[in-house]
Every structure is written in C-alpha cells, then in structure tokens.
Amino acid sequence: MATVTAGQTWTDVRGALEGFRVDCPQNCSGTISFVPLDPFTGEATGSLSEQGNSRRFGPHAEKFTFGPMGRYGRFTLVSDSRSTGIIDITGATTTLGSLTNVGATTITGALTFTSANVSANFSPTGTGTVTINPATAGTINNMQIGLTGPGFAKFNAFALWLTSDTSGTPGPATINGPRGRMAIAAGSSSVVLTNSQFSSPLASCFVFISQGTADATLTRIERVSVTTSSATIYGNAVATGNVVIDWIAVA
C-alpha cells in the first residue's frame, strides 16, 4: 500500500489488467491520470482516446477504483497542497471483467484469476496461436485437453492416476477412471469392469496380470470385450486362485 500526503505526487507503472484502489479521506483532493507507455522502450505513446484516463477526486471522503486501462502504462496521483489527510493507494488490484483490445497486449506483472466463477478463454482465430512455455515447470489440474479438438501431444514422462484397487474383493467392480486394479475370482475365468470411460464400443481396455506368482491355470488374459459403459475381461482358463489384474481404459 502506498500513501500520499498533501502536495505529494505518486507514480507507478502497471500492466494492462491492473488498476488501483484509492481511499481518499475527508478534506483531501487531487487528480489521478494514466499515460500509455511502449512496453519495450518505456516511452509515452500518447493519451488514451477513451474517456476515463484521468479524473479528479475529493474533497469529500470517497473510495474508488481507477483502471485497468487495457494498456501498459504509468499511473500518476497528485494530492493537492490543501489536502489535510493521507490518501491510501492499494496497488495491483485486478478489476477488469472484460477486455477487448486491438493489437498486442503485453503484461509485465502477474496475471491472476482469483474471483469465483471467472473464466479464461484463449481462442485466437485465423492463424493465431497460444503458447504456454514457463521457465519453471508448472501444473495444470482439473482440465480436459483436446476433448473436442484433439491435437498432438509429446511427453518426457506419462502417468495415469490409479483410480481404485478392488483386488481385495475379487469379482465385478465399478471403477470410473483411466486406470485401476481388480481381481478375477478363483473359480471364474472372467470379470466385468463397469466404467464410465467406456463411452462407446469404440473405447479400448488394456489388461495384464499383476502378481508375482502365476496362477496354476489362468496364466494370461485372452481377450477383452468392450461395450458402452463396461468391459468383460476373459482369462485363458478358470482361475485356481484369485488373479489380480491391472487395466487401462482408453476412451
């Protein structure tokens, strides 16, 4: 938080999506303005043609937000010499709900979406592209990538989350997820896996036996029959004991 007393001037350079909250007490007045800057040279590029790139405030007590302007630039607040109180300025307040900008926008500070029900949509048209390439590896959670427009993917490492392990209770199981563990019960040669990942008969299920000691009779998975919402996994014979299997679902 910055403070400005009578006769002082405060300036700060901020990104296109950043504004400021100003708390002006009783008997304080002044002006606040914005000048766009070239993000590469730092030189002024003129004033905004839109209304609202400057305003006067006071002398009555008020709290207000100034910006964002949709442009990288310099904010300046001047407190009148006759002001009798201290003006508080809270920086880096992101208040922009919708930004329409023609041309490039350069953000030099952090861009954070923290409010509830806020969406971020990156959908350039024509030959536009989206590149995400952080210097330090980050994380992406709770996302469906390529759901309606599959593309190309390349990984150094690939892991599927183990959804559930029901092998302690051999027999049919419902496990909704990409990977799981279950068991064909002794005396059976097959088991049914119910899984919402199998959205159509075109889905696939890859299965292998996952135990150190081979069963006396069921020694391999013979075939898998996938239907909508389930897969039947067949062994080569009736199992002598419980046979633990791992599976991977490909929708």
* CATH 2.120.10 fits domain 2-93: no
142-163 residues labelled b (16+ CB within 10 A) or e (exposed):
eeeeeeeeeeeeeeeeeeeeeb
pLDDT at residue 246, rounded to an integer: 96
pLDDT at residue 57, rounded to an integer: 92
pLDDT at residue 96, rounded to an integer: 47
pLDDT at residue 236, rounded to an integer: 97
Task: Provide CB contacts within 8 A for 191, sequence distance 6+.
Answer: 170, 171, 172, 173, 182, 183, 184, 185, 232, 233, 245
Domain boundaries, the chain: 2-93, 162-250
Residue 57 and residue 9 in contact, taking contact as beta carbons nearer than 8 Å: no
What backbone phi and psi angles, to 5 degrees, belong to 129? -130, 160
Q: What single-letter amino acid sits at 147? A: L
pTM: 0.51
Q: From first to last of its 251 residues, what are the pLDDT tens digits of the chain? A: 789 999 999 998 888 878 888 999 999 999 999 988 887 788 887 655 555 688 899 999 998 888 888 888 889 999 999 999 899 988 655 544 555 555 566 666 666 666 666 677 788 888 888 888 888 888 888 888 887 888 888 888 878 878 899 999 999 999 998 999 999 999 999 999 999 988 877 889 999 999 999 999 999 999 999 998 999 999 999 999 999 999 999 87
pLDDT at residue 95, rounded to an integer: 46
Report which of 8, 14, 11 is spatially closest to residue 87, judged by C-alpha positions.
8
- CATH number among 3.30.70, 1.20.120, 2.40.50, 2.60.40, domain 162-250: 2.60.40
